[in-house]
Amino acid sequence: MWEPQGVDIATDQSLASAVPFPDEFRTFEDGDVLLHRSEAHVVVLGERAHRPLAVHHPTQDVATRGIRQRMEDQVAHRVAFSIIYNHLVVDNHAEPALSSATGETPDMFDVLSAERVLAIQPHYDDNDIAAGGTLCRLARRGAHVVYLTVTDDLLGVIDAGIDDATATAQLRAEQHRAGAIIGVAEHRWLNWPDAGGLDHVVLRDQITEVIRDTRPDLVITCDPWLRNEAHQDHVRTGFAALEAVLLSELPRHPAAGAPHAPTAVGIVYSNDPNAVIDTSGVQIERHAALDCYRAQFDATGLTALHDAIDRHERTQAPPDATHGEALRVMNPGALHCAVRPAVLGDRVTVFGSDQ
């Protein structure tokens, strides 16, 4: 049984009765815990970095001013970061989420304020692996959460002895069980062949139609720019979903439904996050949902998945939290021609200044 550190799973009777926890999943021991509530956490990005340059976990007895100075000395860049409500927002000066209309950086969209959410995933478990805690928190706060799964996921089924119909039934049943734990209101499927090739325009227009029908203010999907991502289902789903966000508001687009403009996108599986959601309070649900995915994970694989996610989310937990999920939150206007003006003197060469 997988159990978050410091949480007595037996006290949550509703969840314990809804989800059977197999005995083969071990409880984490003290040596597996990377962070504790007594530690603060600061993620620092350099001004020209496209990825975190340093992660530091200073104990509370170190002054914040000293932490900031040492971190600046360590990365040799100007560092800017701010902590708001239940997010840790990292201000990366190299890639702000610009508004295409004004060229200004808008206020960060509060992910947990979303009332209607469309989470678009290439495979049946990607939403819960990448953002299960965030989506659970949204559902708890009353958001209407819809999962759109792009592929049929048959290639990843580990039992080669069952036919496609049986495998599909198992996949759907597992997804419904996991969704009930997270709080998903509705599942939709596009049924493209798993790893069989996705036609960008056709997929984009299908997603556009779903956006118009579900009318989300927040669209969550995977990062098509993720470095080293070799799985084209992820790359093409991300690109199709993000372009669909842009096109869904255009009245001349032929997709069915009235035009609709989502307020924000949340990009998961990203090397360039700018927000972390505190998911400390939903770790039982977050990991119980993962336990439902047996068609593509054996006991060893699920244990490794729990372990990896727990370590990752402890490492990026916001201050005074045990766990956090990172994503890149963007204004949809930043998805097209959102060029940052050049800053003179910042590695910019000027020509023709004598005129």
pLDDT in tens, 17-41: 433 333 333 333 333 322 222 233 3
Q: Is the pLDDT of residue 104 over 60?
A: no
Give a yes or no: residue 1 inside a domain.
Answer: no
Pairing status of strand 264-268 against strand 218-222: parallel
Q: Round to whole Å and give the CA distance between 91 and 275.
A: 9
- Residue at 355 is within a domain: no
- Look at residue 351 in the predicted model and tell me its pLDDT: 75
60-93 residue pLDDT tens: 222 333 333 333 333 332 222 222 222 333 323 2
Return the sign of the alpha-carbon dihedral for residues 60, 61, 64, 68. negative
| 171 contacts 157 by C-beta, under 8 angstroms | yes
Lowest mean pLDDT among 53-57, 126-130, 238-242, 314-318: 53-57
**What pLDDT is recorded for position 339?**
72
Q: Please indicate, yes or no, if residue 240 is contained in any of the structural domains.
A: yes
Q: For residue 294, what is the domain's CATH number?
A: 3.40.50.10320
* AA letter at 126: D
Q: Quick check: 181 pLDDT over 90? A: yes
pLDDT tier for residue 335 given thresholds of 50, 70 and 90:
very high
Q: Mean of the pLDDT values across residues 125-133?
A: 98
Average pLDDT on 108-112 reads 92
Any domain includes 3:
no
- Beta carbons of 220 and 119 less than 8 angstroms apart: yes
CB environment 58-91: b (16+ within 10 A), e (fewer): beeeeeeeeeeeebeeebebebeeeeeebbbbbe
How would residue 342 be classed by pLDDT, with cut points 50, 70 and 90? low
Containing structural domain, residue 63:
9-99+109-335
With respect to residue 342, please indicate whether it lies within any of the assigned structural domains: no
**Among 30-44, 270-284, 292-306, which is the least confidently predicted range?**
30-44
Q: Which tokens is 240 given?
A: 């199709």
> Would you say residue 247 lies in a domain?
yes
Least confident of 65-69, 275-279, 295-299: 65-69
Q: How far apart are CA 3 and CA 201, in angstroms?
A: 43
Number of structural domains (the chain) is 1
Taking alpha carbons only, the member of 270, 226, 216, 219 closest to residue 243 is: 219
Is 335 in contact with 242 (CB distance < 8 Å)?
yes
**Higher pLDDT among residues 214 and 52, named by residue:** 214
* Number of neighbouring beta carbons within 10 Å of residue 225: 15
Q: What share of the chain is helix, strand, coil (3-state, %, to 5)?
A: 35, 15, 50
Domain assignment present for residue 341? The answer is: no
Terminal Cα distance for the chain, rounded: 73
Residue 172 within a domain: yes
Would you state the pLDDT for residue 290? 98
- The average pLDDT across 149-161 equals 97
Say if residues 232 and 198 touch (Cβ distance below 8 Å).
Answer: yes
